[in-house]
Every structure is written in structure tokens, then in C-alpha cells.
Structure 1
């Protein structure tokens, strides 16, 4: 099955999409399976009732926020918005189809209501990489939970539902957010307490709760009384099940830190936690056998996966303005890509050929690209995170200790 279907004689939506069965519904919207009229490619169409939205306070801005956020984001781990259509009565969001549904439904279908650590690890790595991209583009999600995390035909994660997201213009002069929103059980303590908060750190807390649910099969803090739940969260009153490994317990401890100042940011996890530096034991794209074995074919008109240069140009991890500072950290940069090591090195080599790149194959399955620039060397190591994600680490080395003026623009 490739997800395509034969054309029917039904009336297509604005001449472009043929609506099929209902996939789900909410208060103001319904989501349908649809196919393009021209090629039969499957998509999901979210149909929003204009009258209902306009008649409900605060809903119109949420729709606009969702559209604007999704338009900003182009990443394999974020549900793709193809286009927005409208009639007098409805708004249509044409989105990438995630045929395997949401994580909450997957968990509910399992007897234990939880994933194995191997399966949870794969999901979590993809979540944090996608979220780091969102943060680098100025988008904080603010409603991360298993219900909003979808799976595509190959079992890869897709972050969805940006209706409560915050864009750069949502931040006040103090650089923080002031609107409490999201789902209480997944919201950070500072959000529940109606304090000004760092959106990225609040997302990190939600990632911690989500990870706990994936490996434990239950919420870490679950109380019908929100003030009581908030007190438990502030005191870290949660119990990790005995089957959860020590590294995972430590990761949960770092994410479920009630102090946002010391809470780990998702951007800081890549390359520092065993889940992110240990090579995958399998290239199998399925969640430990939990998902169906038949992948869906990718859409013919889907944008290409983010490559090294897409991420270099947008990620805060590669702000090279401080590369020549005194600290060791300023001389080391990293980013994540879905391109293969060969593709990444080819891209870097093509961009820097005029500077005399020399490619060297490193040990233990890593690739190392060295760029000698007259006493200055940039080494690039590529290692596998979780398929299809690769961690690219760039290191600046001074051969003679002399600081030279160097700009990334030289390699573009």
C-alpha cells in the first residue's frame, strides 16, 4: 500500500483535494483523510468552522498562531503544513498525513500502557531534536503531550498542534512569556503558578513528563486538585518504577527540575546524554515492533528533509559569532541532520572546496572532515543518534595559537 487511490467522481475541495473518511474531531474542527486530485497523494485536511471560531473568544488568534508557527517550521520531526485554503464558511489546513496516529492511542492499546526503553528512547530523541529546531526558529510549543505527538507511515515522530504555541512577538520586554496555557498535568510548575516563564524551559518540563509517561505508563504528578499537583511537582514527589534504568532516571531528574534556571534545556541534551551519543543498535524504523510493518510512501510534493545547511543557517547551536572566544565551548559547535554522513560531507566539501578541504575517515564508524586554513583546522565528526538522525560536531583547532578572523560565510 502506498497511500494513493484512484480518482472518484466526487466533488473535490476547491478543485484540489478529494475528501475521504473522518479521522477525528474537536470542538471547532474535523480532520479528514484526503487525496490530491492530480496525483492521489494522501494528506490530512483540518476543516475549521469559521462561525464557531469567530464566535468564541480567543479561538481566532489560536488558529492564526497555529498556521504561522507551522509555516515557520520545516523539519522532518514537525508535521508539515502544505497549504491553507478558505471559503466563506470554513478554513482548510492541508497537512502532512500521520497515518499511525498519536502516541497516546498507541500507549492505550498496550497492556502495560508503556513503551520499552528502546522504543521510548527513539521517540524521545526525535522529539527533542524537533523541539530544538522549533526553539531555534523562535517557536515554543507550550502543549507538548502524547496526544500531540503523531507517527508517520515509517513510525517517525511528528510534533503537531501548535495552537497554543508562542512566537517571538509573544514575548514581553523581559524576554519571558506571561500566559498560562497547556495541559495541567504536563505544564511546568512556573506555568501552573502563573509566573513569567521561559517557554523553552517549560517545553523541557513537558518533555520530561512525556518521557515519564512513555516509560512508566502513568503520569508522574496526577491530582485532580491542581494546587496539590503543583506542590508535588515543586517538591519532585514522583516515584520512578523499578524497571526504569539509572540513565533514564537521571534524565528524568534533569528534566523534571522545578527550578527552570537549573532545568536542562532540550538543546543541551544532544551529545551529552547516553541516549544521544550511543550508536543505535538497529536501523529498524519501527517502535520496537509495536507499530505496523507496512510503511506509507512519502508524498511526492513533500519538501526535502532538512540538510546540514538548512540547520546551520537557522539553529542557535551554530551561531558562530563567538567561535573565537576564550572558552573551549565557543570552539565547538554541533547540530543535527537527517542527511547521511556521505551527503553531509559532500555538502561541506562542495561549499569549502575553494578553501582546500581534506576529507579523512575517522575511527569507530565516524567521519572526520578536516579543513586546514593556514594554521586553523575545522574538524567535523558525524555520528549516529537514532535513525534517521545524525549528530554533526564541528571543532575549531588553532595549530599555532594565533587567533584568525574566520566567518562561516567563507564556507557558504
Structure 2
């Protein structure tokens, strides 16, 4: 322990108390901010040890990530300080301990498990929208506060979207072996793959019932940035994106599993999804055919189609975006959304023009159920 920790004061600002936990490269103390009198968790990392094993980049990455992400289900980093031998992370103090400890006591009630799962998805979706991937999610890295809110911590193994290589995969250190997810689709063939996806969809439907995504004040600017990226991608001919577990979770409503649980009236929606075993080129050609009959201008690439109406409707010109994702090389999910204009006009176009045209390429399960939302 360093001299600053021995005397219980750090940079004249924090009073260090009992140790909360420790790992190979860091110890975490309870500490008190002398100015505000508020509790914090002080993570202390030894510089010499992390440099010796070549993990300084990992520490720097953790600092960068935690400065980027501000979300109610992510542990907040207040500030970072350093001495000649130590790096100090002053973080939000979460009193409830690890989710692991709660799980170890016995099975959680369904509504409690659903609540934790939805908070986790909210945090991870927020990170992914900012190009950050945690890569070491496990109950030990999920903390609970006094009121039962879940907090994601320990971003030491996280990666940024710029770590993606040409094969579309992340090539940084990944996870704890006991918790690394297996491949979604194994060597079962496409019928087995479809069955697995259907089963996963049922579970996810239950877990995500009533889920509302987190939104913050930056949501409009983020959407605008993505719109610019979409336009650039169309011009460059972006390839088809592979669907990972979190994509499937975010698309789960599109698997149209509601008849398994309850009767629902259809309401006005500004998006629809369906699956197909036809190639992306067939999907694009079908959409393009419909667009031409209704005088839409078309922009397209290998994985998306953008339609723009030429006549102004009740809320301006109708704009439609269709994105294609690959679950397997020959099993695709197509997501169609309204990008501008009136929802009623969009729904009428989908029901009278688009859906009938796509009917013959839409995938149907062995039970006869189709998958559009």
C-alpha cells in the first residue's frame, strides 16, 4: 500500500477507508470525498505491474470508455488521478454488491430477473450505439445499488468499433472463459438454425416484455449522425451486416411471437420486419420494382435500399429505409422503416403495395407461421 493510502488521504481530496475488493492488478476501497462528504469507490491500479504484463493500453482504454458512457445502468467515473506508482479511479459507490452474490443465494423470481435483464440490455445497447463493446459481461461485473438498480462495471476488456477488422470481427482480448457466449448457430444446418432462432425469440420475447429503451438529450444528434453514415454507406456499397446476439435481441419483436402469449390488436407502426431465404439481391429487386410503380426515387447498396417519394403528403414526402441483415449466409432478416413523412401513408403503402410484393420471398416456419411484424 502506498504512503497516500496508509495515511488515509489521497490528493488532499479523498479519505480512504475499508477495502471492498481486489483483483490481480487493482484494489477497490470505500472512500469519502472530503469536500462533498459523498461516498465513492476508489479503484487503485499499480502502474508497475500493469506495465510489466503489457496491460497499460487496457487501463487507458477503460478510462476512455468510462468517460464516454453516461447511463443510469453504468457505474459512473467521477475522475482519474495518478501518482508515480498508482492510478486512481474515483467511481460511483454502489452499495448493493455484485449480482453474482444475489444469484448464489438461489433462483431469482421471474419479474426480478426480467427487470435486471432489461436494465442490462439498456446499458449494453447504449454502449453499442456509441461504438463501445464491453466484452466481459458476467454477474461479477454487474453491481446492484440500494434500490435494486443494476450497474455495469469493469470496462477493462472493452473494445471500440475501430477495432473491427475487414472480417467484421473484434480482435482484442475477449472475456472470461466461463461466460463467453457460444456461437448462436452451430453445425445443425439451416432447419436447426431456424428452430434455434425461433426458440431464442420466445425466451427474449418474455424477457423483453414491457421494455422501453433508454433515451437521453443527445438522441436526436446521434440519430442525425447515423443518418449521415447511412448515406455514405450507400454510396460506398457497404456489405451485408451479420446479425449478432444483441441485434437479434433488438429485433426480437419482429419475430411476431405475440400469438403464443396473447391476442393483440394491430396498431399503427412505422416499421416491419420479415425473414427470407432468398439472396439480398432478390429482396432489393422486389423493393425496387414496387418503388418504380409508385414513382419513388431509389438509392441502394448490397445491404440497404432507400426510397424517397416525389410528392408531398400530409407530413411531407414519404421516405422508407430497408436494411438487410445476415443471420446465416442464406437466412436474412429485412427491417423496413419509415424515415420521413406520414405514418398512415407509410402503413397504407406497406399493406397495399410492399407486403403483397414480398409475399413470395418471405420465409415461413414449418408450422406455417410467417415472421413479419
Under a length normalisation based on structure 2, what TM-score does the superposition of the two structures give? 0.55
Deviation string, structure 1 residues 287-326 (Cα, Å, up to 9, x no partner): xxxxxxxxxxxxxxxxxxx754323433699759879xxx
Query: Which runs of no fewer than 5 residues in structure 1 stay unpaired?
Result: 1-9, 191-204, 206-232, 237-249, 257-263, 281-305, 324-328, 334-372, 378-392, 404-412
**Residues 313 and 342 of structure 2 are in contact (CA less than 8 Å); yes or no, is this contact kept in structure 1?**
no
Deviation at 1:185, TM superposition (A): 2.4
1:75-154 aligned at under 5 Å gives the runs 75-108=71-104, 110=105, 113-154=106-147
Given the superposition, is the C-alpha separation of residues 251 and 91 from structure 1 closer, same or farther in structure 2, using an over 3 Å criterion?
A: farther
1:4-19 aligned at under 5 Å gives the runs 12-19=9-16
Aligned to 1:55: 52
Structure 2: how far apart are the matches of 1:147 and 1:131? 16
Structure 1: how far apart are the matches of 2:31 and 2:228? 44
Asked if residue 168 in structure 1 is aligned to residue 161 in structure 2, the reply is yes
Asked if residue 376 in structure 1 is aligned to residue 315 in structure 2, the reply is yes
Structure 2: how far apart are the matches of 1:145 and 1:187? 9
SS at match of 1:54: helix
**Residues 270 and 343 of structure 2 are in contact (CA less than 8 Å); yes or no, is this contact kept in structure 1?**
no
1:285-296 aligned at under 5 Å gives the runs none
Larger proportion of helix: 2
Structure 1: how far apart are the matches of 2:315 and 2:142? 43
Deviation string, structure 1 residues 103-125 (Cα, Å, up to 9, x no partner): 101122x2xx2211111000000
**Residues 144 and 151 of structure 2 are in contact (CA less than 8 Å); yes or no, is this contact kept in structure 1?**
yes
Q: In terms of Rg, which structure is larger? A: 2
Query: Which runs of no fewer than 5 residues in structure 2 stay unpaired?
Result: 1-6, 189-195, 232-253, 255-268, 273-311, 317-337, 350-373
Deviation at 1:99, TM superposition (A): 0.7
Aligned to 2:19: 22
Q: Choose which of 62, 69, 72 in structure 2 pairs with 1:66.
A: 62
Structure 2: how far apart are the matches of 1:126 and 1:31? 24
Under a length normalisation based on structure 1, what TM-score does the superposition of the two structures give? 0.50
Aligned to 2:243: none
Structure 1: how far apart are the matches of 2:344 and 2:100? 53
**Structure number with higher relative contact order (C-alpha < 8 Å, ≥ 6 residues apart):** 1
Aligned to 1:278: 210
Aligned to 2:263: none
Q: Choose which of 37, 47, 50 in structure 2 pairs with 1:40.
A: 37
Structure 1: how far apart are the matches of 2:101 and 2:124? 21
Given the superposition, is the C-alpha separation of residues 29 and 398 from structure 1 closer, same or farther in structure 2, using an over 3 Å criterion?
A: closer
SS at match of 2:108: coil
Paired residue total: 241
Deviation at 1:130, TM superposition (A): 0.6
